[in-house]
Structure 1
Amino acid sequence: MNKKKGFALASSVTLLSSAFLAACSTGEETDSSQGSTNEGSADEAQVLNLLDSSDIPSLNPTLATDAVSFNVLNNVNEGLYRMDEEDNPTPGMAESHEVSEDGKTYTFKIREGATWSNGEPVTANDFEYAWKEVLNPDNASQYAYVMSIIEGAEAYNTGEGERDAVGVKAIDDQTLEVKLTAPADYFLGLTSFGVFMPKLESFDTEQGENFGTSAETTLYNGPFKLDSWEREQGWKMVKNEDYWDADTVKLEEINVKVVKEVSTGVNLYENGDVDRTGLTSELVAQYQDSEEFSTVVEPTLFYLQFNTAVEELNNQKIRNAIDKAYDKAAISETLLANGSIPANYLVPKDFVTGPDGKDFREANGDIGGYNVEEAQKLWEEGLKELGTDKVELELLNYDSESAKQIGEFIKGELEKNLPGISVSIKQQPFNNKLDLENKGEFEFTFAGWGPDYQDPMTFVDLFVTDGPYNRGKWSNEEFDKLIESAKSSTDAEQRWADLQAAEKIVLEENAISPVYQRGSARLTKPYVKDIVEHAFGADYSYKWASIEGKE
């Protein structure tokens, strides 16, 4: 949600959805019976019914930025590799690959017989074309930065280099060569992410701006294909019989209904109309003893992002004060009560380990935290520097049920603990909220991010000066140098140290105010098997899912 989100993120509450800035990757859909080898009975309908709290913003890999889009793309399309049930890269459109001795050149062998849903073969050119379209400065892709590890990518994207100089080349129809600026262990997994999906040039050109805006103007090469898509109502995916590994796919149909209210989703679940739903804190107590209840903590972070173009929020002490003035534990443990944990960090816990084998969080720990007395001291100093005793701010928020509760809680805490502050709340549908954030038309916003790949960089480099997701326009020269160093470093230990130092700067200056690391409480029907929940990239894979034992 977002991922994560990526993951760009919508609500943490959710109806087991993926509505968030992505990453990737920040969504919800579950951990039901992962690793099972159930085949599903031949005589029972292989139909899965799901909920999401937001419509799909775009199925164009060039333009997609959120977890809803990336989650659908992951199931109707396929990159060079796909993340498997254990979050390891497994061959997709590429049946194999080779890596040069220096770790900087990857050569992929494209699978013969792989086809698009219109019958055209999938070729190496589909990847070269698609990736360069993401980097094409005319397309203004917000996710182009994630390809900066590719030789010549950043230069082309910023208008300082040529398209032909980008290190992605179709040697022939079945051979794709990719040259990196530095070795990157996470690169193979990154090729499974939505931005790296292929596109058939002739179809893309034919559809133009309509590409990825409807079921008919989208092309598919994955386990499923979109059969229908009604805006703000839902969509239907059906098995892609032309998929190279169609024998593995058991589900014949996946129906997704857009529902914003959790209570409505629970009613649909109880009536047997849907097979999974998320729960709010009020409902956890009611269902927590059910065998259909489960919780999970995800590597997805929700936070307040400050727009430093706003005079008051350009003051570091004001930002520091806001971060310390509300009780994050109360949000996680009382308002959500779904396994979420309070966050005083940027890179989530239990997400990635370093060269020393230790979790990233172990070295940096918590940075900042709830402290009303210190918040009031910083607030008073900040007001004095601004020459005022009053501050009026507008909080941009999602329009989901739990996001509303969180926004109201933060407003109440700030107005109680920071004398002179007045907070109004602007709730918007997911797409509208993304648009306002992209345009910088907000003062501070409740946002989220899920990881696009398994590396701290997917969180930390969000805040480089003029970065596409640095919507608050915060800037720090030392931070930028650390990120640049980490991206070019071949020394794993030094790279890790640079990333940890960069995270500290972000949080000490409060470019954002972390709120919580997302957990989700959910109900899943016992006959739903083998939905794979990913820790990064897209949220869910339905390739291995099935229905078994439904009465």
Structure 2
Amino acid sequence: MLFNKKSFITFTILLSLTLTACSNKGTQVQNTSKDQTLRLMDTSDIVSLDSSLALDGPSLNALNSVMEGLYMPNDKGEYVPAAAKSHKVSEDGKVYTFTLRDAKYSNGEKVTAQDFVFAMKRAIDPKTKAQFAYDLYDIENAQEINQGKLPVEKLGVTALDDQTLEIKLERAIPYFIQLTSLPMYFPLNEKFVKEQGNKYGLEANTTLYNGPYVVNSWDHGSGFSMKKNDQYYDKKNVKVNEIEVKVMKETTTAVNLYETGELDQAIIDSSVIDRFKDNSELQKLAMPIISYISFNQQNPLLANSKVRTAISNAFNKEDISNVLLNDGSIPTDRIVPKGLVKDSKGNDFVSSTEHSSSIELSKAKSLFKDALSESGKSNVSLSLLVNDSNTSRKIGEYIKSQLETNLQGLTVDIIVQPAQQKFELRQQGDYDLSLDTWGADYPDPTTYLELFTSKSALNVLNYSNKQYDDLLLKANTVSIQNETERLELLHKAEDILLNDAVIEPIYQAGYVYLQKESVTGIKVRPFVGYFYYKYANKQ
């Protein structure tokens, strides 16, 4: 989940933000409260704490506080040594040698270089079916191993001794240190993982932790709690002793508990934003996250680009962002977020959120009418797969209403599923339309564009375009050191994706929440958008 990509691009850290209320106090304050329990909420529960398999936001949020990679972001969003003490890079930039610090897991066992080797080999093994295995693809032989073309033993990672880890890359990439902060790079104790078998990561006591916190209780469906890890090497700088996270799907419930002091932070939505618009505890963030519709072209109707284009232009994105959500979201026609990537001259990759693939509603209606005529049908039904959050439900209902109103003969059936089940249905190709979300794994357009290559494990749209694949391949190989040429190739690739109506971007996400002024230091991972709590404090 995926990060200072390409030395020839100067990046802005969009999300190295401190989630604090309007306060002038810094994060390094002295504790003045005896209550050092942080009470939070989320709209969904953890699915898995297995760093090779975790996919959903709640799981990744938790992992970012209970596990650590070789390097992790500090309170300023800078990547600093974590499990590693230092590293050296070969002259050609293709070999990284990490010296590990003296660190322990929560059970007191030493974190070793072999733990990193085991974790990366486990994740890249196609038998593991790690959906984010591609985060390792810059390592020597990783992609071919994941595709079953080479044995796992060929992965370019070696434990030179207990404290020294060597990683060989396919090519020199200056963003590699940021990649080592991702879950695919988190260490795993082989003995413990194998002892737990299929139970690893599914319970608090079947998981091993090397981060600032450990999950000490987990009531599936209701929430979990984390406490300070007594074995953590930097525990003296972890201020909050315990973090409680409750699962709440209803905004009204969260607001009520927040107002009675039972929550320190509450995620809210448009239904209550106006009520708090003048409250200093209301916080808004712009996120490097795009919400979009995926079209499954295995459906013969959706294999017709006229239908995809018609659907893409038959609903009002501004209404979704500005009225339905009202949380700082930005309507967009682009799959790459605005503000994520700037070139060496300071120019944003996304100069405009509009794209030439957009057409007038009247043209969309005409295209759909033509497509129905070509299919020999007067009425058709399509399913729209959404997750069970309030936001997804509302957007789904709005899109259904707009499409059925504007495209005569179309019926949309909304299929609501919990996040994990929705993902599984999507990966099985068991959908027509899917309301999807993707957050930046690293500050480069390819974090989005590579999702739709022919070989991407997440491309379950039945879409394949050789020209698109070739543009991305060239951008990441032949043109990797030529900024102007590379960005031009990536713009062309995005144009193909949007002109083919493979997906339809809807909005760049905002994030709105209430947070007590007594709470400071909750951070958002740069580019990734997940929270981490090492620097949190409660006065």
Q: Which residue of 2 aligns with 1:77?
A: 67
> 2:423 and 2:385 mapped to 1: Cα distance?
10
Q: Which residue of 1 aligns with 2:49?
A: 59
Deviations 1:179-238 (A, max 9, x none): 111222222111111121110111111111111000000000000001001110100000
Whether 1:403 and 2:392 are equivalent positions in the alignment is yes
Deviations 1:346-373 (A, max 9, x none): 0101111134432110288534336211
Q: Which residue of 2 aligns with 1:108?
A: 98
CA contact (8 A) 1:102 1:183 kept: yes
**Alignment partner of 1:394: what SS?**
strand
CA contact (8 A) 1:346 1:503 kept: yes
> 1:185 and 1:498 mapped to 2: Cα distance?
20
Tell me which amino acid in the other structure corresponds to 1:508. N
Q: Which residue of 1 aligns with 2:449?
A: 460
Taking the TM superposition and a 5 Å limit, the aligned residue runs for 1:129-528 are 129-362=118-351, 366-369=355-358, 371-489=360-478, 490-493=480-483, 494-528=485-519
CA contact (8 A) 1:296 1:520 kept: yes
Aligned match for 2:35, one of 27, 45, 51: 45
**Alignment partner of 1:189: what SS?**
helix
Deviates more, 1:279-288 or 1:36-45: 36-45
Compute the TM-score of the two structures, normalised by the length of structure 1.
0.91
Structure 2 unaligned spans of 5+: 4-14
**Alignment partner of 1:481: what SS?**
helix
**Alignment partner of 1:313: what SS?**
coil
**Alignment partner of 1:447: what SS?**
strand
Aligned match for 1:91, one of 72, 78, 81: 81
Tell me which amino acid in the other structure corresponds to 1:114. A
Aligned match for 1:529, one of 508, 515, 520: 520
Post-superposition shift, 1:327?
Answer: 0.2
Tell me which amino acid in the other structure corresponds to 2:65. N
CA contact (8 A) 1:70 1:193 kept: no
Per the alignment, do residues 150 and 460 of structure 1 end up closer, same or farther by CA in structure 2, a change over 3 Å counting? same
Compute the TM-score of the two structures, normalised by the length of structure 2.
0.93
Post-superposition shift, 1:106?
Answer: 1.2
Deviations 1:77-116 (A, max 9, x none): 00000012332211110111112222222111111x2001
> 2:41 and 2:459 mapped to 1: Cα distance?
30
> 2:209 and 2:288 mapped to 1: Cα distance?
29
Post-superposition shift, 1:382?
Answer: 2.4
CA contact (8 A) 1:463 1:469 kept: yes
**Alignment partner of 1:415: what SS?**
helix
**Alignment partner of 1:125: what SS?**
helix
Count of paired positions: 525
Structure 1 unaligned spans of 5+: 6-25
Q: Which residue of 2 aligns with 1:68?
A: 58
> 1:37 and 1:429 mapped to 2: Cα distance?
36
> 2:61 and 2:107 mapped to 1: Cα distance?
22
CA contact (8 A) 1:297 1:519 kept: yes
Post-superposition shift, 1:378?
Answer: 2.0
Per the alignment, do residues 529 and 306 of structure 1 end up closer, same or farther by CA in structure 2, a change over 3 Å counting? same
CA contact (8 A) 2:157 2:165 kept: yes
Aligned match for 2:531, one of 536, 540, 550: 540
Post-superposition shift, 1:36?
Answer: 1.6
